[in-house]
Chains A and B, each alone.
Chain A
Amino acid sequence: MSSALRERAPATHDRGAGRADRLGGARRRRMPRHAGFAYLLLAPALILFSIAFLIPIGYSIGLSFMGSRSTGSAFAPPETVFVQLDNYAGVLADPTFWSSLGRLGVFAIVMVPLMMGTAILLALLLDLPRVRARAFSRTAIFLPYAVPSVIAALMWGFLYVPQISPVYQFASGLGIELPALLTGGFVQVAIVNVVLWGGIGFNTIIIYTALQSLPKEQIDAARIDGCDELRIARFVKLPHVVPATLLTGLFSVIGALQIYSEPQMLSTLTTSIDSTFFPLMRVYRDAFAHDDLNAASAASILLALATVLLSLLVLGLRTVLARRTR
């Protein structure tokens, strides 16, 4: 078909034009009925995506470049003017932005490796041939996934109260004095623990599910070669779950950067979490307590950009790792 089209194209046409012509010809022939139906199927997703994502993003980008300026008269309302990058500069010059970002960095750097490491360990344990109470353990580990993060924060919030908590009672029974987690610097530990409790289970099950797709013959071969379970885990199973682990790790990173509900809930029980503790809480304060939608937009966009960049970094890492294992 394509050669016929090329013959039809005048000799004076350059190659690019010839290709466009060819594509156009193919389209005219193949498209009508089926492509129309495909567009029909896609339409709801595209319309909703525009309403819920594209238009708000555009609107927010617009707001982030605007500001209100006093008109000089005491009676006229302030007018909205284009302020270039002033809002961004304002956010970047604000020390609370950087301190919230610093806390977020510490949180993510501690939480994500702990979450993924524990999830891998539990998945490998669940996959061991002679482990007992497997089905029960799997269900129990998965259970926190069904608990909303604010409720998890509420439950743990009470479990952090030494007079009520069985954890503190148990520890003091063993002669260990646990610090009160809702005060001072320990509050990060309190938040990390709530997030780990809520997130490890889902990641474990995803990695465990990925392990199930490992061909049995590969494990048997390794065993016949004299590998013990530890070596099989290290050299056969672990490489197999790298893609799934990086995927869930990526979602954990994205989730960590958006942390909001857990500290917000815990803040009702402690004075150690203020309204600018994490970046998203600070954005919320700007938008609703300070009524400064422009600054909130600029900070939102900065945060979204940082998240997307980090995601791309993780995906790049994934490609590099995949190449190395190959």
Chain B
Amino acid sequence: MTATGIRSTRPDIASARPRRRTRGGFVPTVVLLAAVAYFLVPVVWVVFAATKTTGELFNTPSFAMGTGFGDNLVQLFTYQGGAFVQWMGNSFVYAIGGALLSTIVSAAAGYALALYDFPGKKAVMIGLLGGVLLPTITLTIPQYMLFAEWGLTNTYWAVLLPVSVTPFGVYLAFVYARASVPRELLEAGRVDGSSEGRTFGAIGLPLLLPGLVTIFLLQFIGIWNNFLLPYIMQSDSDLAPVTVAMYLMLNRGGSEPILYAMAITGALVAILPVIAFVLFLQRFWRLDLVSGSLK
């Protein structure tokens, strides 16, 4: 982030005090690196463990390569007739579809709330803030009951519909639209004879884009990581995302160590896409949007 760069080249008042410079940097760096180790160890360990046979898991050093990586992959991808590919695919359908839907819905609603006055706006705002506080997971079982009644369970929509509107997403879009789209632009569009819809599409949306990317990413990860919603909605394992599938895999296998190698390999394959995604897209995040949104 640029702000960091600016701050670290701050005028060197402290350079007159060389002792503080070493002390000021050393201890914090060590503490930080200890924290980094804590956060990295499980991920690094999974990478090594995925290369091991079940026997090697128990009798070789943790951070040594094993010989079973190929076998583990074959076992994983042929498990239940290649269902793992389907599960990963389902995760992508839910995460991309749900995040897209929810970003579009949030953009439209946030834009309307930020830039238009209309009767009932206050009620919508209050409902929205209430929705932000609502514990969504406790709603999952009510959602299930109703969706079962409507015949929506065991369809992709059972997961896509509940994640397609998030009060927090709408709220973030509202905050971002209020800050980045001046009302004068709308007036100017009207004077030029542009319709409201065209102004929204041609001027509003491009201005909103950085905020929308952030909402999309938050949603994507939130949905990819979701467990309870698909777990409850989909009893058909062909519709399970990878999180649910991994749980079912371990749950059925009980505590048989023979499954360990495959489960660990599955964990690695399941987290790689999102980790790559996050590392790649980190720079496009406007997380200041989140930190500043409730001031």
A residues within 8 Å of B by Cβ?
A: 27, 30-31, 33-35, 37-39, 41-42, 44-46, 48-49, 51-53, 55-57, 59-60, 63, 118, 121-122, 125-134, 136-137, 139-152, 154-156, 158-159, 163-167, 169, 197, 200-201, 205-207, 209-210, 212-213, 216, 219-220, 223-224, 228-229, 243-244, 247-248, 254, 257-258, 260-261, 264-265, 268-269, 280, 283-284, 287-288, 293, 296-297, 300-301, 303-304, 307-308, 311-312, 315
A152 to B200, CA, bound (A): 41
B164 to chain A, nearest CB (A): 5
Q: Provide the residues of chain A in CB contact with B136, threshold 8 Å.
A: 258
Assuming the contacts A213-B292, A283-B141, asked whether A38 and B247 have C-beta atoms less than 8 A apart, the reply is: no
A311 to B52, CA, bound (A): 46
With both beta carbons as reference points, the residue of chain A lying nearest to B9 in the complex is identified as A129
Contact in complex: B45, A136 (CB < 8 Å):
no
B78 interface residue per 8 A CB criterion: no
Contact of A300 among B21, B141, B225 (CB under 8 A): B141
B36 interface residue per 8 A CB criterion: yes
With both beta carbons as reference points, the residue of chain A lying nearest to B282 in the complex is identified as A139
Q: Provide the residues of chain B in CB contact with A139, threshold 8 Å.
A: 279, 282
Q: Provide the residues of chain A in CB contact with B279, threshold 8 Å.
A: 139
Contact in complex: B131, A126 (CB < 8 Å):
no
Q: Provide the residues of chain A in CB contact with B32, threshold 8 Å.
A: 122, 125-126, 131, 133, 137
**Total number of B residues with any Cβ neighbor in A under 8 Å:** 110
Q: Provide the residues of chain A in CB contact with B142, threshold 8 Å.
A: 56-57, 59-60, 63, 297, 300
The prevalent SS among residues of A at the interface is helix
Contact in complex: B105, A308 (CB < 8 Å):
no
State the total of A-B contacts with C-beta under 8 angstroms.
315
Contact of B105 among A45, A167, A264 (CB under 8 A): A45
A136, A137, A150, A152 — most chain B CB neighbours (10 Å): A150
Contact in complex: B24, A129 (CB < 8 Å):
yes
Q: Which of B65-73, B82-90, B107-115 has 4 or more CB atoms under 8 Å from chain A?
A: B107-115
B17 to chain A, nearest CB (A): 10
With both beta carbons as reference points, the residue of chain B lying nearest to A159 in the complex is identified as B42
Contact in complex: B263, A247 (CB < 8 Å):
no
Contact in complex: B243, A158 (CB < 8 Å):
no
B residues within 8 Å of A by Cβ?
A: 1, 3-4, 6-8, 10-11, 13-14, 20-21, 24-25, 28-29, 31-33, 35-36, 38-43, 45-46, 49, 57-58, 61-63, 104-106, 108-109, 111-113, 116-119, 124, 127, 130-131, 133-139, 141-146, 149, 161-162, 164-165, 167, 170, 196-197, 200, 221, 224-228, 232, 242-244, 246-247, 250-251, 254-255, 260, 263-264, 267, 270-271, 274-275, 277-279, 282, 287-288, 290-295
Q: Provide the residues of chain A in CB contact with B282, threshold 8 Å.
A: 139, 142
With both beta carbons as reference points, the residue of chain A lying nearest to B288 in the complex is identified as A209
A151 to chain B, nearest CB (A): 5
A258 to B224, CA, bound (A): 18
5 further contact pairs, Cβ within 8 A, besides A141-B35, A159-B42, A216-B6: A31-B118, A39-B112, A131-B25, A209-B288, A300-B139
Contact of A146 among B46, B124, B143, B271 (CB under 8 A): B271
Contact in complex: B29, A52 (CB < 8 Å):
no
Contact of B29 among A33, A133, A209 (CB under 8 A): A133
With both beta carbons as reference points, the residue of chain A lying nearest to B200 in the complex is identified as A41
With both beta carbons as reference points, the residue of chain A lying nearest to B147 in the complex is identified as A56
Q: Provide the residues of chain A in CB contact with B40, threshold 8 Å.
A: 140, 143
